[in-house]
Structure 1
Amino acid sequence: MILSDRTIRQLLRQKTLGIQPLDDGQIQPASVDIRLGDTYSIAEETSAGIVYLDSEVRYRTIRAQSYLLLPGQFVLATTMEYFRLPNDLTAFVEGRSSIGRLGLFIQNAGWVDPGFEGEITLELYNASRSAIELRAGRRVGQLVFARMDAPAQNPYRGKYQGQRGATGSRIAQDLELQK
């Protein structure tokens, strides 16, 4: 079940759900607006020009109040907000329609798992033919919360727990665990 603004406010008051910083105006009828933080990460090019999924990827991370996203460019960004989800809530990121209509695609790579705590890394892609200026504090998407039928038996405690800033892929850690 998708949570309403009323339920989101109640969970925030009870401190069951944590979102910091949060302005009341960010709470929408069935979501919470998320804002861009000031950290961006760009995957460094490899000498072979190929990203291998079984190798560690290196990133160049910058902090800036604005970032110019060129046409066809991909960048990781972070939310301004730090989230703390209880073990019976999950969430997913949706882009804002007004931003998508400009050619800026915003998502994250899956669900925000129950038990997750941290800033959310966003994957941004400029599909337009013009550069797009990104600014810290700009509302770019929304987080939609859904209540699970029961608390997770194994809430999230993974490699991105507690992340701050635009966090690059840690796929190489998965490979180490498989060995």
Structure 2
Amino acid sequence: MILSDKTLFEMIEADTLQISPLEKHQIQPASVDIRLGNTFSIVEDLPSGIINLEDEIPYKTIVTDTYILLPNQFVLATTMEYFHLPDDLTAFVEGRSSLGRMGLFIQNAGWVDPGFHGEITLELYNANRCAIELKAGRRIGQLVFAKMDSPAIHPYQGKYQGQKGATGSRVYLDMEKQR
């Protein structure tokens, strides 16, 4: 069941759903607007020119209020908001149609697990032929929350728990678990 603004307000008031910082106007009829943070990360050039899934990937992190996303460029960004979801709530990350119409693709694998807490890392891609100026604090997307039929037996405790800033891939940790 997707949560309404009424339920979102109640959960935030009861502190069962935590979003910080949050302004009341961010709560929409069936979602919460998310804003762009000021941290951006890009994959650093590798001598081999090949990203290997078994090794840690080096990123260059930039803290700035304005970032120029060049045509066909990919960058990781973060939300301004820090979220703490209870064990019976999940969320979907959705981009804004207005930005998609400019060629800005926003994704983050699209899913926030129950029990997650942290800022949400967004993958941004400029599919346009023109550069796009990104500014911290700008509405970049929304979270749609859904109530689960019961609390998760194993709420999220993964490798991105508690993340702050534009967090690079930690897929290499999957390989370490298999060793």
Q: TM-score, normalised by structure 2?
A: 0.98
Q: Which amino acid aligns with 1:67?
A: Y
Q: What is the rounded CA distance, in whole Å, between the counterparts of 1:167 and 1:7 in structure 2?
A: 30
Find the counterpart in structure 1 of residue 178 from structure 2.
Answer: 178
Q: Give, in whole Å, the separation in 1 of the partners of 2:59 and 2:109.
A: 17
1:55 deviates by 2.0
Asked whether the equivalents of residues 122 and 166 of structure 2 are also in contact (C-alpha less than 8 Å), the reply is yes
**TM-fit CA distance, 1:132:** 0.2
Q: Does 1:55 align with 2:55?
A: yes
- 1:22 counterpart residue number: 22
Residue 5 of structure 1: aligned partner: 5
Task: State the shift of 1:110 in Å.
Answer: 3.7
| 2:88 matched residue in structure 1 | 88
Aligned 1:90-105 pairs, distance under 5 A:
90-105=90-105
CA deviation string 1:72-108 (max 9, x = no partner)? 0000000000000000000010000101100000010
Larger deviation: 82-91 or 50-59?
Answer: 50-59
Q: How far off its partner does 1:113 sit?
A: 0.4
> Unaligned 5+ residue runs, structure 1?
none
Distance in 2 (CA, whole Å) between partners of 1:140 and 1:173 is: 29
CA contact (8 A) 2:94 2:110 kept: no
- 1:44 paired to 2:44: yes
Alignment correspondent of 1:109? 109
Instruction: Give the aligned CA root-mean-square deviation in angstroms.
Output: 0.7
Q: Aligned ranges for residues 97-176 of structure 1 at < 5 Å? A: 97-176=97-176
Distance across 2 between alignment mates of 1:47 and 1:97: 38
Secondary structure at the residue paired with 2:174? helix
Amino acid at match of 2:105: F
2-structure distance, mates of 1:57, 1:37: 22
Runs of 4+ in 1 over 3 A off after TM superposition: none
1:81 partner amino acid:
E
How many residue pairs get matched? 179
State the shift of 1:109 in Å.
1.7
Q: Deviations over 1:86-142 (max 9, x none)?
A: 000000100001011000000102410000000000000000000000000000100
Q: Secondary structure at the residue paired with 2:111?
A: coil
- CA deviations 1:37-59 (Å, max 9, x no partner) are 00000011211111122222110
